[in-house]
Amino acid sequence: MVDLALNNSKAHELAKSQREISIAEFFERNRHLLGFDNKRKALLTTIKEAVDNSLDACEEADILPEIIVEITEMGADRFRVAIEDNGPGIVKEQIPKIFAKLLYGSKFHKMKMQRGQQGIGISAAVMYSQLTTGKPARIISKIGAGHPALYYELKINTQTNNPEIISEHVKDWGKESGTRIEIDLEASYNKGRQSVDEYIRETAIINPHVTLIYQPPKGEQLMLVRVTEKKPVQPVEIKPHPYGVEMGMLIKMLQVTTAKTVKQFMKEDFSRVSDKVAEEILENAQVLSKTKPKNVTREMAERIIEGIRNTKIMMPPTDCIVPIGSELLERGLKKEINAEFYATVSRTPNVYRGNPFLVEASLAYGGDIPSEGGIEVMRFANKVPLLYQQGACAINESVCQTNWKSYGLQQSGSNLPQGPLVLVVHIASVWVPFTSEAKEAIAHYPEIIKEIKLAIQEVGRDLGRYVNKKKKVKDEMKKRSYIETYIPHISEALKDILALSDFAESDIKDNLSYLLEHTRGKLDNLEFNPEANTEYDENLARIGREEEERDE
């Protein structure tokens, strides 16, 4: 007989070390996944998460964003950052949860083109601040004229993942509406390719409607003024398309649905599922239409996934994706880079795994761009700059797979091409597939790579035409100077042989110039004119440019 009183089984032994992992521990162990791997990256991630939230909030409220970013050095490896927006503000009850509860938010698995996707970012920054400095995050928010500005000091309870309100009161704040967050953290400030400076610079390029006021820890405040007053069109939220759904998501959706039957669930919670399609899916899955969503077993869910795969379903609507548009994207690039030639394309939407997406690409060539070394690739996903993991990103892969030689650049094998080029690639989607939670690189879906390549090829061809034309003009100039070189020899020889006067000799020269050159037509002037680009903003171009460093 087994003695139940003896707690010496293996399971009991293991149970002694089994306990609930606190949220703080979880964070400690997974900080690299969330973008806090090192001090330098922590500073960038904190600012990035806050700015992303501000921009999303402004856009949702249809406000032209004006965002202030301040970085203050408080001591060795200690910084204070403040991000302030003119957004709609946050209602009183939500403030503590949004900033001091991990995985809380409105965006989790929402099928809408927006910057944040997971509801993890800003609270992770608060958590990091708390763990490295012990200080609470300070928040002021105001939802409009006539409402009070609310001030909070917040911490996260690391055992329960719930907000702890350290202080709470009404404050005087001149702004009509908006939110300001102030966080102290252990960090380090650097310049270069993966710096906060670079993030600010690229954010200004990709958001032509945003005004950014940036105060770096040292040096002057920089004011980066919007190039357009036109607010971006509000993206529409769509229901997920069956082709994009995975097991975990399906089970979660089944749990929260209000539908009475699984058929109704299919029809109401997914896009492009009609009565007929729902029946076909369930028939293919051998699941009864009347089954209650709560009663769908894991095994049945697997069959539904299989059933979806075997059913032909119309692609999702693509009007939920809002491009920046080629005109604005190019103006954004012109603001930052003074080049000779620009080309931009905004492609029509496409679909990968049931998720609509679209690709935009813009390039700047020549002018002030250094001609030595590899090209600069700026990657963006839903208007957010991607600064890390370039090598692992589908954008990088697509650039390398493109044959740049035919566009007049140098390229050895399938490497990044060489030459004076800045390439911007933007992917907009209701669900951008990142390779990790830190949202640094885009996953290699063949449909996405194909679209990126098509976009690159489109701007590449424009570039090729320009480079060719430039080469032709250069050859022609060379030819003309070549002609100019030999004309005096002809006139001098004729003068010697025929004993002509100096006057006749210069007459020969003039006539020869006319005969050999003027018949060749007028030349386009393709010389770089630094004054030609009226969008160019030296302030913007200067930031993040003093040093070039990077770490992956």
Which residues are at the interface with another protein (CB under 8 A)? 479-480, 482-483, 485-487, 489-490, 492-494, 496-498, 500, 507-508, 511-512, 514-516, 520
Distance CA 331, CA 335 (A): 6
3-state secondary structure 507-551: HHHHHHHHHHCHHHCCCCCCCCCCCCCCCCCHHHHHCCCCCCCCC
Shortest approach of another protein to residue 486 CB, angstroms?
4
Distance CA 251, CA 297 (A): 9
Distance CA 311, CA 321 (A): 25
Contact 329, 426 (CB under 8 A): yes
Shortest approach of another protein to residue 512 CB, angstroms?
6
Contact 438, 35 (CB under 8 A): yes
Give how far Cα 312 sits from Cα of 252, 307, 329, Å. Answer: 24, 10, 36
**Total residues found in the chain within this entry:** 552
Q: Which is nearer to another protein, 131 or 516 (CB)?
A: 516
- Residues 64-98 as b/e (b if ≥16 CB within 10 A, e otherwise) read bbbbbbbbeeeeeeebbbbbbbbbbbbeeeebbbb
Q: How far is CA 522 from the centre of its chain?
A: 44
Phi, psi of 150 (to 5 degrees): -100, 135
Q: Which residues contact 529 (CB under 8 A, 6 or more apart)?
A: none
Q: Which is nearer to another protein, 145 or 498 (CB)?
A: 498
Q: Which is nearer to another protein, 76 or 497 (CB)?
A: 497
Shortest approach of another protein to residue 468 CB, angstroms?
20
Bridge partners of 365, per DSSP, are: 341, 421
Residue 362 amino acid letter: S
Q: Which is nearer to another protein, 15 or 515 (CB)?
A: 515
Hey, what long-range contacts does 276-281 have (CB within 8 A, 24 or more apart)? 277/311, 277/313, 280/311, 281/242, 281/307, 281/308, 281/311, 281/313
Q: Which is nearer to another protein, 17 or 485 (CB)?
A: 485
Q: What is the CA radius of gyration of the chain?
A: 30
- DSSP-derived secondary structure for 101-120: STT-SS-TT--S--S--SS-
Q: Which is nearer to another protein, 268 or 507 (CB)?
A: 507
Shortest approach of another protein to residue 525 CB, angstroms?
20
Shortest approach of another protein to residue 506 CB, angstroms?
12
Shortest approach of another protein to residue 477 CB, angstroms?
12
Shortest approach of another protein to residue 479 CB, angstroms?
5
Q: Which is nearer to another protein, 268 or 496 (CB)?
A: 496
Element (H, E) at 147: none
Neighbours of 323 (CB within 10 A): 19
Shortest approach of another protein to residue 467 CB, angstroms?
23
Shortest approach of another protein to residue 504 CB, angstroms?
8
Q: Look up residue 393 and give its two tokens.
A: 């990103």
Shortest approach of another protein to residue 518 CB, angstroms?
10
Shortest approach of another protein to residue 497 CB, angstroms?
4
Q: Which is nearer to another protein, 486 or 528 (CB)?
A: 486
Q: Which is nearer to another protein, 312 or 518 (CB)?
A: 518
Q: Look up residue 152 and give its two tokens.
A: 């909070």
Shortest approach of another protein to residue 514 CB, angstroms?
6
Shortest approach of another protein to residue 485 CB, angstroms?
5
* CA nearest to 119, candidates 131, 130, 134, 109: 109
Q: Which residue has the tokens 């989607």?
A: 429
Shortest approach of another protein to residue 502 CB, angstroms?
15
Burial of residue 524, with CB atoms counted within 10 A of its CB: 0-12 exposed, 13-18 middle, 19 or more buried:
exposed
Distance CA 153, CA 23 (A): 20
Assign 36 to helix, strand or coil. Answer: coil
Q: Which is nearer to another protein, 108 or 514 (CB)?
A: 514
Q: Which is nearer to another protein, 279 or 476 (CB)?
A: 476
Contact 448, 395 (CB under 8 A): no
Phi, psi of 453 (to 5 degrees): -65, -40
Q: Which is nearer to another protein, 298 or 479 (CB)?
A: 479
**Cα 286–291–295 angle (5° rounding)?**
105
